[in-house]
Amino acid sequence: MRNIYDYTLDELAREFAPSYRAKQIYGWLYHRYIDDFDAMSNVSKELRAALKETFTTQCVKILKVEHSVDGSKKYLFGTQDGHSYEAVLLQMREEQSGEGGEKQSEARYTICLSSQIGCRVGCAFCCTGKGGFVRNLSAGEIVAQVVHIKRDNGFAPQKGLNIVFMGMGEPLDNFDNVVRAIGILASKDGLSIAPRRQTISTSGIAPRIEQLGRLNLGVQLALSLHAVNDALRSRLVPMNRSYNIREVLDVLRRFPIDSRKRLLFEYIMIKDVNDDLQSAKELLRLLNGFKAKVNLILFNPHEGSGFARPSAESVRKFQEFLLSRGLLCTLRKSLGLDISAACGQLREKNV
């Protein structure tokens, strides 16, 4: 049976004319998070029967939820073909209340989505690729992560969320399905998560970055840089052997970005590998001319990695140097570390 979460609103409208029927279905799926066709009470019996014969809403299911002390949650999803993948709900800010207990602002969340089961890239510091590559996720299996997480947390349909394709897999290695998922997530009749609130993180597949740029979807882009010379980057990020630093940066210079936004460069800091002041100086030189923001990420340990976290002093010197030279640079807090939900720690698991 076909996965209904794979379908855009226009595609459903072609299946079930007139178009208002598709909007009704989309409302049940994405505003009420209903996955039982029989419960769609304003849909005719004939249409419900046709939906049950043709489509399934059970492409994935939640196998396990782990809770972090920082408010983050890690979700293990099971697929119909017996595999699993993880996604993470990150609490970026707690709900703010006034002195009288009145709510001043809501909590802010980001969902870290996976695009593949496993990963082909095989970054040396990342746990995901250790189990090898299994397969791409379909667009519907990507979208379903958001639906399940919103339902599980009781989020209102209109609640603003940010999406980052920074979970398992290389998003641009699953280009067509990720692009389709971006469109479905952005549909105003569905989840209504605008492209500007969606970020794709890539290890640097230069032709795919160029292709994504030509589509001009309005999404944000983050490059997993992690090293300032090709010798080290090829060791840490094998993709660099195919598309080196200069080639990837040349493509990024042509990538369309919102005038209010910046290109993101992710830099995992590893003790005695890339955390020295000379690396900071080279990073500044590499990014000269970019409207850039650097996210420093402390290496997150996992079994068999052979790497270690840098000292607080080396991180402070690295960040202060970049800031003093006018390069916007933030230190990303490793949320979900206690449940192995931080950057580089996700992988396929058995329950």
What pLDDT shows up at residue 181? 98
Predicted confidence (pLDDT) at residue 4 exceeds the cutoff of 60: yes
Judge if 234 and 108 occupy the same domain: yes
Predicted confidence (pLDDT) at residue 74 exceeds the cutoff of 80: yes
What pLDDT shows up at residue 97? 61
Judge if 240 and 145 occupy the same domain: yes
Catalytic residue among 59, 170, 343, 348: 343
Judge if 39 and 163 occupy the same domain: no
What pLDDT shows up at residue 104? 58
Domain assignment of residue 254, yes or no: yes
Judge if 82 and 164 occupy the same domain: yes
Q: Of 108-117, 129-138, 149-158, which gets the smallest average pLDDT?
A: 129-138
Please tell me which of 11-20, 32-41, 125-134, 292-301 the model is most confident about, judged by mean pLDDT: 32-41
Judge if 42 and 86 occupy the same domain: no
Judge if 67 and 38 occupy the same domain: no
What one-character-per-residue DSSP string does 128-188 give? GGGG-EEEEPPHHHHHHHHHHHHHHTT--TT---EEEE-SSS-GGGGHHHHHHHHHHHH-T
Predicted confidence (pLDDT) at residue 260 exceeds the cutoff of 80: no
Cβ contacts of 341 within 8 Å, gap of 6 or more: 66, 68, 72, 73, 74, 86, 88, 335
What pLDDT shows up at residue 11? 96
Residue that terminates a domain, selected from 56, 82, 101 = 56
Residue that terminates a domain, selected from 11, 41, 56 = 56
What pLDDT shows up at residue 148? 97
Catalytic residue among 86, 170, 266, 348: 86
What pLDDT shows up at residue 339? 56
% of the chain beyond a pLDDT of 90: 79
Judge if 200 and 310 occupy the same domain: yes
Domain assignment of residue 345, yes or no: no
Predicted confidence (pLDDT) at residue 245 exceeds the cutoff of 90: yes
Domain assignment of residue 347, yes or no: no
Average pLDDT value for residue range 196-221: 97
Mean of per-residue pLDDT scores for the chain? 91
Judge if 241 and 92 occupy the same domain: yes
Domain assignment of residue 344, yes or no: no
- Can you give the CATH number for the domain in which 7 is found? 1.10.150.530
Query: Between residues 123 and 347, which one has the greater pLDDT?
Result: 123
Judge if 46 and 167 occupy the same domain: no
User: Alpha-carbon distance 25 to 31, whole Å?
Assistant: 10
Average pLDDT value for residue range 1-5: 95
Residue that terminates a domain, selected from 38, 56, 74 = 56
Q: How many independent structural domains does the chain possess? A: 2
Judge if 10 and 140 occupy the same domain: no
What pLDDT shows up at residue 326? 96
Annotated active-site residue 123? The verdict is no
Nearest to residue 138, comparing CAs of 6, 291, 299? Answer: 6
| Range(s) of the domain holding residue 131 | 60-339
Angle at 267 between CA 234 and CA 221, to 5 degrees: 95
User: Alpha-carbon distance 270 to 247, whole Å?
Assistant: 24
What pLDDT shows up at residue 301? 78
User: Alpha-carbon distance 342 to 335, whole Å?
Assistant: 6
pTM, rounded to two decimals: 0.92
Predicted confidence (pLDDT) at residue 306 exceeds the cutoff of 90: no
**CA 266 remoteness from chain centre:** 13
What pLDDT shows up at residue 55? 97
Q: What does the block give as tokens for 152?
A: 């599980």
Average pLDDT value for residue range 262-280: 96
What pLDDT shows up at residue 348? 54
Domain assignment of residue 351, yes or no: no
Q: Of 35-39, 155-159, 182-186, 283-287, which gets the smallest average pLDDT?
A: 155-159
Annotated active-site residue 329? The verdict is no
250 three-state secondary structure: helix
pLDDT band of 271, cuts 50, 70, 90? very high
Predicted confidence (pLDDT) at residue 126 exceeds the cutoff of 90: no
Domain assignment of residue 350, yes or no: no
Q: What does the block give as tokens for 106?
A: 């809501």
- Can you give the CATH number for the domain in which 179 is found? 3.20.20.70
